[in-house]
């Protein structure tokens, strides 16, 4: 009766739940009589899988058998993967690495990240290399007395405090 209730409600005759009331016994009898007259609902033909259609196109029975076993193995692996996916719990922690939590009275705690902690290992290595004496010498540069980078003619390539600022960022 639940499907009839939904049908009656969809057409707009009455609410489906009303068929369960004693006052709706006549409607219920009418619907049951019509169902007996019309007969059971027709069965839908079973859907054939796309993989089955492909298999039927293969004329050679040996190749068809091999393909059938491959498709069965694929389906088994897909089912196992879905089971693993359903039991997997991924936790994403987006808190910055190296952060310290600072709290003050009357305010929410705030994560403070040092500049050095924000660097990836490759970025840290690149900055260390950029201010190293060997690297600068290989390129005809040198560090001045106030942290500036000078070329072989003594002209400033990077301004005063450049090398010192990089070292401060690195925590050196």
In a domain, 33, yes or no: yes
Boundaries of domain holding 10: 2-38
Question: Is the domain of 57 the same as that of 30?
Answer: no
Q: Tell me the pTM.
A: 0.37
Q: Are residues 27 and 55 in the same domain?
A: no
Q: What's the pLDDT band for 53 if we cut at 50, 70, 90?
A: confident
- The pLDDT of residue 20: 80
Rounded to 5°, angle at Cα 164 from 162 and 167: 110
Q: Which one has a higher pLDDT value, 51 or 31?
A: 31
Average pLDDT, the chain: 83
Q: Is the pLDDT confidence value at 139 over 80?
A: yes
- Predicted confidence band of residue 143 (pLDDT cuts 50, 70, 90): very high
Tokens of 43: 């069965």
Q: Is 107 left (phi over 0), alpha (psi -120 to 50) or beta?
A: beta
State percent of the chain over pLDDT 90. Answer: 27
Place of tokens 């290992």: 121
Helix (H, G, I), strand (E, B) or coil at 117: helix
28 falls within a domain: yes
Domain membership flag for residue 59? yes
Query: Which is more confident, 93 or 10?
Result: 10
| Signed CA dihedral, 60, 66, 72, 78: sign only | negative
- pLDDT surpassing 80 at residue 17: no
Is residue 165 pLDDT above 80, yes or no?
yes
Average pLDDT estimate for 42-55: 76
Contact 136, 124 (CB under 8 A): no
Task: Return phi, psi of residue 69, to 5°.
Answer: -70, -35
Model pLDDT, residue 116: 63
| Assigned domain for 93 exists | no
Same domain as 26, residue 66: no
* Overall domain count for the chain: 3
How many CB atoms within 10 Å of residue 166?
17
- 87 inside domain: no
58 plus 27 within the same structural domain: no
Q: Where do the DSSP E strands lie in the chain?
A: 99-102, 110-113, 142-143, 149-150, 156-158
pLDDT above 90 for 102: no
Together in a domain, 16 and 67: no
Residue 115 has what pLDDT?
A: 66
Q: Are residues 113 and 162 in the same domain?
A: yes
Q: Which of 130, 141, 137, 139 is nearest to 163 (CA)?
A: 130
- Tell me if 89 is assigned to some domain: no
Residue 113: DSSP 8-state: E
């Amino acid at each position: 009766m639940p499907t009839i209730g939904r049908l009656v409600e969809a057409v707009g005759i009455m609410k489906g739940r009303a068929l369960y009331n004693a006052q709706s016994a006549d409607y219920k009898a009418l619907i049951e009589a019509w169902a007996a007259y019309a007969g059971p609902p027709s069965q839908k033909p079973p859907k054939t899988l796309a993989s089955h259609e492909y298999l039927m196109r293969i004329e050679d029975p040996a190749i068809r058998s091999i393909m059938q076993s491959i498709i069965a193995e694929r389906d088994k692996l897909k089912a196992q993967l879905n089971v693993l996916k359903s039991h997997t719990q991924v936790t994403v922690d987006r808190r910055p690495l190296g952060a310290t939590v600072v709290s003050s009275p009357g305010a929410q705690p705030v994560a403070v990240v040092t500049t050095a902690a924000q660097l990836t290992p490759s970025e840290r290595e690149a900055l260390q290399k950029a201010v190293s004496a060997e690297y600068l010498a290989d390129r005809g540069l040198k560090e001045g007395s106030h942290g500036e980078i000078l070329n072989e003619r003594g002209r400033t390539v990077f301004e005063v405090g450049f090398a010192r600022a990089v070292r401060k960022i690195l925590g050196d």
